[in-house]
Amino acid sequence: MNKNILTLLVILILFVQIPYSLAFPKVNPDIKIAPIEASVDWSENNSFITKDDPIIKWWSQFNDPQLNSYINDAVNCNYDLQTVVSRILETRALRAGAKSGLYPQIDANGKYSRYQFFVATQNASGKSLDLANAGLNTSWEIDFFGKNRWNIEVATENMEVANENKRAALISLISEVATNYMELRGNQSQLSVLRKNIENQSNNLKLIQYKHKIGLLAEIDVIEAQSLLELLKSQIPNLETSIKAYAYNISVLTGRNPEVLLCELLPAKPLPIFAEIVAVGLPANLILRRPDIRQAQRNLGSAIASVGAAEADLYPSIKINGSFGLQDINITDLANITGGLWSITPSVNWKIFDRSLLKANIDAAKARARSADTELRQTVLNAIKDVETGISYFDSSRKTEKELEKATLLSQQTSNMTNKAYQIGLKSQLDVLEAEKTYINNQSQLITSKTEINLRIINLYKALGGGWQCF
């Protein structure tokens, strides 16, 4: 008996080691998906972009070590991202559980019993018996038609969906940190120019007040100059509050308390400048980079695998149950086993009277697959639209900046010339104030435009799906 049992166990172990893809072919899902055709080129073409592959670590092109440091901190410490990573660990565990269904499930059991016998006579001594049992029970559903393997593929695709979610979260996180940083530096540039203009206007007001005092200017000139000065001062609180708010955002995004980075971020620094040219690649490459497209592909793969699992349910399932046990009446002498038992019970289960239900399940799985296919196609279209829109906005922002640079330079010249004309009596004090207002307004708009360009670049690279490859 022991020789037969050993032979049986060896056969079972060898059979389990055979790759299932070779042992039993899977049922192929009866569903066809048409290939996706992406645009060959972008409709937006201008001198500010190239079709070279996008730079993966695009934020490094701003040449700002502080920004690079905060992005690294956010990737390592952001709590929202850590939540997404936990979801990945969950899907990996679920896949491991699904994969275990391919192999025999073995349970061990043991029992010890003591029996005491007695007779109902006076002074009669009873007898006792010790009985020990130990054994193994196994159950194995042989995956002839691939249902379990399709379920494993579903779990695998779901795990990859979680990975793509993490990549999408990475892109959003990097973009959010960069956006807040640019807004903060842009507001600091605005505040720096504003304070300089306030200083100039304060000196101008003192001069006007002096001229009014000696009778060279009317009181209305003093009031106009003072009004402009107060108008400039009124902008300071909002800018200071915005700067702190962006600093709080960056601190929280990097996993810190809101006030922690104030000492690092409040000292003013210039607004970072990006390279003139942005590489955007080709539309077809978006499928390789954009996590939302990759996620939609995985969802489609999961849906198709679900069709395969549902169709495999049409066929019989074959299961083998087995047990092996030992029994002895003397627990202290296990070397000499007095008895044992083994059994093998194959069984077949075929849902021949549930065909309509199984067909309905297949139809439902196919409908989900078609839905996943349309979602994938829409995701691709949206991705191309995002990049096209980003290129267009970037182009218009660059052109706006060029015009504002000219306008600012001209308004500065106008202000200087008006001031000189005022000194010789050819222009009034009101003309001087109007020229200064125009120059100050153009300065503010130019800084806003430069900040806007950086934000457009960030949004464009976000649309291109770059950045997650670095982590």
Q: What is the pLDDT of residues 121-152, one digit of tens each?
A: 555 555 666 666 677 777 777 777 888 888 88
Single-letter amino acid, residue 291: P
Flag whether the pTM goes above 0.95. Answer: no
3-class SS at 240?
helix
Average pLDDT over residues 428-451: 90
Question: Residue for token digits 């900040």?
Answer: 451
Contact status, residue 422 vs residue 213, Cβ threshold 8 Å: no
Contact status, residue 312 vs residue 145, Cβ threshold 8 Å: yes
Q: Where are the domains of the chain?
A: 26-101+140-315+350-470
DSSP code at position 428: -
Is pLDDT larger for residue 153 or for residue 335?
A: 153
Q: What is the pLDDT of residue 63?
A: 93
Single-letter amino acid, residue 337: I
Q: What is the dihedral of CA 250, 252, 254, 255, to 10 degrees?
A: 170
Beta bridge partners of residue 130, listed in sequence order: 114
User: 389: which residues sit within 8 A by CB, 6+ positions away?
Assistant: 463
Q: What is the pLDDT of residue 17?
A: 44
- φ and ψ of 198, to 5 deg: -65, -40
Average pLDDT over residues 452-464: 94
Q: What is the pLDDT of residue 346?
A: 82
What tokens were used for 66?
A: 């502080």
Residues in the chain: 471
Measure the CA–CA gap between 207 and 222, rounded to whole angstroms.
Answer: 9
Q: What is the pLDDT of residue 92?
A: 81
| Whole-number CA gyration radius for the chain | 38
Q: How many CA atoms lie within 13 A of 260 on its CB side?
A: 11
Element (H, E) at 49: strand 49-50
For residue 14, pLDDT over 50 is answered with: no
Q: What is the pLDDT of residue 332?
A: 52
Q: What is the pLDDT of residue 338?
A: 58
Burial letters 106-116, b for 16+ CB under 10 A, else e: eeeeeeeeeee
Residue range 26-101+140-315+350-470 forms a domain whose CATH class is mainly alpha
Measure the CA–CA gap between 193 and 236, rounded to whole angstroms.
Answer: 11
What tokens were used for 123?
A: 């002074």
Helix axes 236-253, 147-213, angle to 10 degrees: 160
Single-letter amino acid, residue 455: L
Measure the CA–CA gap between 121 and 347, rounded to whole angstroms.
Answer: 52
Average pLDDT over residues 423-448: 89
User: 206: which residues sit within 8 A by CB, 6+ positions away?
Assistant: none
- φ and ψ of 373, to 5 deg: -65, -45
Q: How many CA atoms lie within 13 A of 418 on its CB side?
A: 18
In tens, the pLDDT along 293-336 reads 999 999 999 999 999 889 888 888 888 887 776 666 555 555 55
Average pLDDT over residues 344-364: 86
Q: What is the dihedral of CA 238, 242, 245, 250, to 10 degrees?
A: -170
DSSP H stretches of helix in 214-275 = 219-233, 236-253, 262-265
User: 443: which residues sit within 8 A by CB, 6+ positions away?
Assistant: 193, 197, 408
Single-letter amino acid, residue 283: P
Average pLDDT over residues 384-398: 92
User: 440: which residues sit within 8 A by CB, 6+ positions away?
Assistant: 197, 232
For residue 153, pLDDT over 60 is answered with: yes
Helix axes 355-423, 429-464, angle to 10 degrees: 160
Average pLDDT over residues 15-24: 46
Is pLDDT larger for residue 261 or for residue 279?
A: 261
Model confidence at 461, pLDDT cuts 50, 70, 90, reads very high
The most confident of 42-51, 218-227, 335-344, 406-415, by mean pLDDT: 406-415
Contact status, residue 401 vs residue 449, Cβ threshold 8 Å: yes
List the beta strands (DSSP E) in 102-215: 105-116, 128-142
Average pLDDT over residues 338-358: 79
C-alpha closest to that of 157 among 381, 384, 372, 375:
372
Q: How many CA atoms lie within 13 A of 266 on its CB side?
A: 11
Average pLDDT over residues 172-176: 96
3-class SS at 302?
helix
Q: What is the pLDDT of residue 60?
A: 93
Measure the CA–CA gap between 38 and 285, rounded to whole angstroms.
Answer: 9
